[in-house]
Amino acid sequence: MNIAKLRHIKKLYFGYEEIARALAVRSDSARVFANRYVRQGLLVRLKRNIYVARESWDNLSEKDLFCLANVCQVPSYVSLMTALSYYGITTQVQRRFIESIAVKRTKEFIIDDTVFNYVKINRKMYGGFMKKDGFFIAAPEKALLDALYLKSLRRYSFDVSSLDLSKLDTARLKELAKKYPGKLIKLLGDNEYTGKT
């Protein structure tokens, strides 16, 4: 069966080119096969020309989900409570709900039991993230600032009591906060979001 040949693709996600190569068919035929396998539940479509094998999808690690989150909307980086949970700073997290910051648009992708949520932020504040294990993720302090900024705009809510602020670097937090509007600086001061120095 052709689907067995797709197991030879050693990538987390792939497109028509890899399908065509694995099945030894032309690109237009690969598109037909991909659509058929999605209907049969053998492939999961993330977006146009981006697929994950069902057996891989059902066993995704947190790292894999973060990599896919970066792919579903480009550019973007994992942030907010998802990143804070990754760093062990919050206990407030939903399973298979990945939050990211983007510059193009606010959008939510629901794929099976997984939600990829993207919140648009001003390009001036897009930064403070790093590449780690193949995915882009906010630094802990930046993830908190993103959450506070969106909270100040009434576009996001979170439970402050779920945060372990002792794991944050106060100096880095204050430095990164300079890119944000004065309202956020005030909110930062009012709530005394301080961590380690």
Domain ranges of the chain: 2-57, 62-190
* CATH code for the part of the protein at 2-57: 1.10.10
What is the C-alpha to C-alpha distance for residues 12 and 83, in angstroms, rounded to an integer?
21
What is the C-alpha to C-alpha distance for residues 190 and 54, in angstroms, rounded to an integer?
48
What is the C-alpha to C-alpha distance for residues 133 and 63, in angstroms, rounded to an integer?
7
Q: Are 134 and 128 in contact (CB under 8 A)?
A: no
The pLDDT of residue 159? 86
The pLDDT of residue 195? 46
Answer yes or no: pTM beyond 0.85: yes
Buried/exposed code over 17-45 (b: 16+ C-beta within 10 A; e: otherwise): ebbbebbebeeeebbebbeebeeeebbbe
User: In tens digits, what is the pLDDT along the chain, a chain of 197 residues?
Assistant: 577 888 889 999 999 999 999 999 999 999 999 999 999 999 999 999 999 999 999 999 999 999 999 999 999 999 999 999 999 999 887 889 999 999 999 999 999 999 999 999 999 999 999 999 999 999 999 999 999 999 988 999 998 888 998 899 988 998 898 888 876 766 666 555 544 43
What is the torsional sign of CA 62, 63, 68, 69? positive
What is the C-alpha to C-alpha distance for residues 108 and 98, in angstroms, rounded to an integer?
10
Distinct helix (H) and strand (E) counts, the chain: 9, 8
SS3 188: helix
